[in-house]
Structure 1
Amino acid sequence: MRAVRIDEFGGPEVLVQVQAPDPEAGSGEVLVRVEAAGVNRADALLRAGSYHRAGRPPLIPGLEAAGTVAAVGEGVTGLRPGQRVMALGAGLYAELAAVPAGRVAVLPDGIGMLEAAALPVAWLSARYCLRDLAGLAKEETVVVHAAASGVGSAAVQIAADLGARVIAVVSSADKAAWVAGLGAHDIVDTSVDDEEQQVARLTGGRGADVVLDTVGGPAFARGLRQVAYAGRVIALANVALEPSIIDTRDFYPKNATIRGFQLTNLMEHGYDPRDDLRELAERTAAGAYRVPVEAVFPLQRAREAHELLERRGNRGKIVLSVTSPVPSDGRQTARAMQMRAFSRGPAS
Structure 2
Amino acid sequence: MNRVVRFHQFGGPEVLSLEEVPVPVPGPGEVLIRTRALGLNRAESMYRTGRHAAQPRFPSGIGLEAAGEVEAVGIGVTGPVAGDKVSVVPSFPLNEYGVHGEHVLAPRHAVVTHPANLSYEQTASVWMMFITAYGGLIDLARLGKRDTILISAASSSVGLAAIQIARIVGARPLVLTRTSAKRQQLLDAGADEVIATSEEDTVARVRELTDGIGAQVIFDPVGGPPLADLITAAAHQATIVLYGRLHSEPTPLDAGEVLFKQLSIHGYDMADITTDDTRRSQAVDFIREGLADGTLTPAIDRTFPLDEIVDAYTYLESGSQVGKIIVTVPR
| 1:305 to partner: Cα distance | 1.3
Identity among equivalent positions (%) equals 34
Kindly indicate whether residue 45 of structure 2 is the aligned counterpart of residue 38 of structure 1.
Answer: no
Q: Determine helix, strand or coil for the equivalent of 1:34.
A: strand
| Whole-angstrom CA distance in 2 between matches of 1:185 and 1:267 | 30
Please tell me whether the aligned partners of residues 116 and 281 of structure 1 are also in contact (alpha carbons under 8 angstroms).
no
In the other structure, the counterpart of 2:223 is 216
Summarize the alignment of residues 316-331 of structure 1 with structure 2, pairs less than 5 Å apart: 316-323=323-330
Summarize the alignment of residues 193-232 of structure 1 with structure 2, pairs less than 5 Å apart: 193-232=200-239
Please tell me whether the aligned partners of residues 38 and 328 of structure 2 are also in contact (alpha carbons under 8 angstroms).
yes
Q: Determine helix, strand or coil for the equivalent of 2:327.
A: strand
- List gaps (5 residues or longer) in structure 2: none
Summarize the alignment of residues 181-260 of structure 1 with structure 2, pairs less than 5 Å apart: 181-260=188-267
Q: Select the residue among 289, 293, 304 that pairs with 1:297.
A: 304
Q: Residue by residue, what CA displacement relative to the aligned partner does 1:269-314 show, whole Å, maximum 9, x if unpaired?
A: 6565244235424422432222111111111211111111111111
CA 1:6–1:264 in 2, change beyond 3 Å: closer, same or farther? farther
In the other structure, the counterpart of 1:331 is none
Summarize the alignment of residues 63-102 of structure 1 with structure 2, pairs less than 5 Å apart: 63-87=64-88, 88=90, 89=92, 90-102=97-109
TM-score of the superposition, structure 2-length normalised?
A: 0.93
In the other structure, the counterpart of 1:114 is 121
| Whole-angstrom CA distance in 1 between matches of 2:64 and 2:278 | 16
| Whole-angstrom CA distance in 2 between matches of 1:219 and 1:66 | 36
Q: Select the residue among 173, 177, 182 that pairs with 2:180.
A: 173
In the other structure, the counterpart of 1:145 is 152
Kindly indicate whether residue 264 of structure 2 is the aligned counterpart of residue 264 of structure 1.
Answer: no
| 1:230 to partner: Cα distance | 0.9
| Whole-angstrom CA distance in 2 between matches of 1:271 and 1:45 | 28
In the other structure, the counterpart of 2:12 is 11
CA 1:12–1:271 in 2, change beyond 3 Å: closer, same or farther? farther
Structure 1 counterpart of 2:109, one-letter code = G
Higher mean alpha-carbon deviation, 123-132 vs 236-245, is at 236-245
CA 1:265–1:160 in 2, change beyond 3 Å: closer, same or farther? closer
Summarize the alignment of residues 303-318 of structure 1 with structure 2, pairs less than 5 Å apart: 303-318=310-325
Please tell me whether the aligned partners of residues 135 and 273 of structure 2 are also in contact (alpha carbons under 8 angstroms).
no
Q: Residue by residue, what CA displacement relative to the aligned partner does 1:181-239 show, whole Å, maximum 9, x if unpaired?
A: 11111111124212122112111221100000122222333322221111100011112
| 1:163 to partner: Cα distance | 0.3
In the other structure, the counterpart of 1:161 is 168
| 1:55 to partner: Cα distance | 2.4
Higher mean alpha-carbon deviation, 239-248 vs 95-104, is at 239-248
In the other structure, the counterpart of 1:345 is none
TM-score of the superposition, structure 1-length normalised?
A: 0.88
CA 1:266–1:243 in 2, change beyond 3 Å: closer, same or farther? farther
Structure 2 counterpart of 1:189, one-letter code = A
Structure 2 counterpart of 1:72, one-letter code = V
Q: How many residues align?
A: 324
Please tell me whether the aligned partners of residues 217 and 243 of structure 1 are also in contact (alpha carbons under 8 angstroms).
yes
Please tell me whether the aligned partners of residues 99 and 106 of structure 2 are also in contact (alpha carbons under 8 angstroms).
no
| 1:268 to partner: Cα distance | 3.9
Higher mean alpha-carbon deviation, 142-151 vs 200-209, is at 200-209
| Whole-angstrom CA distance in 2 between matches of 1:240 and 1:52 | 16
Structure 1 counterpart of 2:44, one-letter code = D
- List gaps (5 residues or longer) in structure 1: 325-348
Higher mean alpha-carbon deviation, 134-143 vs 197-206, is at 197-206
| 1:267 to partner: Cα distance | 3.5
| Whole-angstrom CA distance in 1 between matches of 2:77 and 2:40 | 28
Q: CA RMSD in A?
A: 1.7
| 1:172 to partner: Cα distance | 2.6
Q: Determine helix, strand or coil for the equivalent of 1:251.
A: helix
